[in-house]
Amino acid sequence: MKAAQLRVVDQAASLLLDYPTPALVARLPVLAGALAELPAGTARSDLTGFVEHVGSRPLPELARHYVETFDLRRKSCLYLTYYADGDTRRRGVTLVRLKQYYRRAGVEFAAADLPDFLPVVLEFGAATGDRSLLGRHVLGLQLIRLGLVEAGSPYRAVLDALLSTLPGPTADDREAVLALARNGPPQEEVGLEPFPTGGAP
């Protein structure tokens, strides 16, 4: 797939993975037209199918499913650094570096979303053609997909489309995904003190 076509994939996935609003519904015909120009394959068929799904559902139903899928389930949260860093102080450093990476590329996001929010990362790819962040977080993308499969969510189609445009996982990648799926992301342990048990200090 050509670079310009990958930008279309990233832009479409960014819009479709963000919280559903009337503005998204209004843009569905434009999205469908842009996707129709892509070469035949998984990305076009899965994204087109999901656009049709969104267009066939009432907005309140879409919004409810979005919250249940992405906001209430850690296994399919859309914050990519969560999968590598968990809720640790290391993740804070990673987020700062990610913001700096955007600035060096001349891109500033005014949105309140964190810089590792998948729609923001995709918007960056669509704006610049730089997909290195997606490649760097392919394990997180695989885990999001697994979470969506487990939940039986139609959003799986968007992740399938996106992953079809990235290099396939190596054997080590698959092992890492399975380990993260089993054990979960890292947890903060440094600096935690045990509860007092009584007696002399």
CA distances from 80 to 106, 183, 185, 197, 198 (A): 21, 17, 11, 39, 42
In a domain, 56, yes or no: yes
Which has the closest alpha carbon to 69: 150, 164, 180?
150
Whether 199 maps to a domain, the answer reads: no
- Say if residue 33 is exposed, middle or buried (CB neighbours under 10 Å; 0-12, 13-18, 19+): exposed
Residue 94 forms part of a structural domain: yes
Q: Is residue 195 part of a domain?
A: no
pLDDT in tens, 122-167: 999 999 999 999 998 898 899 999 999 999 999 999 999 999 999 8
Q: Give 7-29 pLDDT, tens digit per residue.
A: 999 999 999 999 999 999 999 99
Residue 125 resides in a domain: yes
Q: Is 198 a domain residue?
A: no
CA distance linking residue 35 with residue 79, whole number of Å: 25
pTM for this one?
0.84
Give a yes or no: residue 160 inside a domain. yes
The Cα 55–Cα 32 span in angstroms is 10
Distances 145 to 94, 157, 162, 164 between C-alpha atoms, Å: 22, 9, 10, 12
Q: What is the CATH number of the domain that holds 119?
A: 1.10.3480
pLDDT band, very low/low/confident/very high, at 75 (cuts 50, 70, 90): confident
What residues make up the domain containing 38?
Answer: 3-183
